[in-house]
Amino acid sequence: MHRRDMLIGTGALLGACATGARMSAETKPLVIAHRGASGERPEHTLAAYRLAIAQGADFIEPDLVLTKDGHLVCRHENEISGTTDVAHRREFASRRTKKTVDWDEVEGWFTEDFTLAELKTLRCRERLPQLRPANTAFDGQEAIPTFDEVCALAKAECVGVYPETKHPTHFEKRGQSFDDVLLDTLARHGWRDASAPVFIQSFETGNLKRLRARTSLRLIQLCAAQGMPFDHLPTGMGLTYADMLRGDGMKRIAAYADGVGPEKSLIVPRDAEGRSITPTDLVDRAHAAGLKVHPWTFRAENHFLPLERRSAGTPAVRGDLLGELRQFYALGVDGVFVDFPAVAVAARQPG
């Protein structure tokens, strides 16, 4: 399926797609397929990205980690036992180890200990089988995609890419940096500046600031409801995400980024029982600073929804995601990270 319009929210024509179609900006909010259509296929697989594109997503989101030989591959974490069959591969049993990744001690198998060729022998599996048992039917069918493969797919289908650099400080301590390989990969696909259908996101700040000095590609500062960027503590900055967003914080973010990606509870908080309460003014304050707002993550299962939007049944039963998305659209967000792109596309329609 080839998209005829690229909805990136800038209003500028962005050049020809591989199909000859023009990419333009007409509609918002953007539908950003979180790890692909990860509600219906194992995340970060080409199958999940293809389904997201077929469902009308404007961007597909690959989380990026590095291999031992310096390639970018698409995994939510560098520890891969939860999303691949590596734990069942006897030839890699000796690779199991413990590492400190940012704040946490983690045990398992890590992408930086494997070459790309070795990782390509693994097969992907559903990360949340207890909530998405139907997705396990696709276990074992897909290899780990490279970022280059995802970019090629996106360009062929006239959608954008929205990569996240995962644990950049962790990799930098190993002598590996995302900066060159990320920018070089995007440049190979003709994406070099702010006119490209690209956003680069990170929970850290240092790598975004380095990238801003090198590129006009659009950058997004991710913010969680709790905690701080990992690179703030070692540098003595000590700023939490809450600190970054209050007062003149939005203006400081705007000095190096084009938008914020807040955890959705920073926009619509919940009470102790899980019900939505009065929205905050985050969207208005971000817009006043010239920042786009792309909250995360919208999922259909009861487990993830506010109490008033849950259906009867177990945590795995799907509730009123459509209603939640329409609430956020009405608050003026510029895009949403969603596991079910078809629902987010439908929510843009009246009624």
pLDDT class for 351, splitting at 50, 70, 90? confident
The rounded distance, in Å, linking the Cα atoms of 351 and 349 is 7
34 is catalytic: yes
168: pLDDT strictly greater than 60: yes
44 is catalytic: no
30-77+135-347 CATH choice from 1.20.120.160, 3.40.50.10800, 3.20.20.190, 3.30.930.10: 3.20.20.190
pLDDT value, residue 173: 93
2: pLDDT strictly greater than 60: no
Task: Provide CB contacts within 8 A for 301, sequence distance 6+.
Answer: 39, 131, 132, 315, 316, 317, 318, 319
Burial of 256 (0-12, 13-18, 19+ CB in 10 A): middle
213: pLDDT strictly greater than 60: yes
pLDDT value, residue 226: 95
Among candidate residues 44, 71, 76, 232, the one labeled active-site is 76
148: pLDDT strictly greater than 60: yes
255-268 pLDDT per residue, tens: 999 999 999 999 99
Among candidate residues 34, 44, 71, 232, the one labeled active-site is 34
pLDDT value, residue 27: 61
Q: Give the DSSP H or E segment for 188.
A: helix 178-188
49-106 pLDDT per residue, tens: 999 999 999 999 999 999 999 999 999 999 999 999 999 999 999 999 999 999 899 9
The rounded distance, in Å, linking the Cα atoms of 282 and 250 is 9
**300 secondary structure, DSSP code:** -
pLDDT value, residue 236: 58
Question: Both tokens of residue 318?
Answer: 């799907």
Mean pLDDT calculated for residue range 181-196: 98
What sign does the CA torsion over 94, 96, 98, 102 have?
positive
pLDDT value, residue 10: 37
21: pLDDT strictly greater than 80: no
19: pLDDT strictly greater than 50: no
pLDDT value, residue 205: 96
323: pLDDT strictly greater than 80: yes
Q: What is the mean pLDDT of the chain?
A: 92
235: pLDDT strictly greater than 70: no
95-145 pLDDT per residue, tens: 999 999 998 999 999 999 999 999 999 999 999 999 999 999 999 999 999
pLDDT class for 238, splitting at 50, 70, 90? confident
pLDDT class for 231, splitting at 50, 70, 90? confident
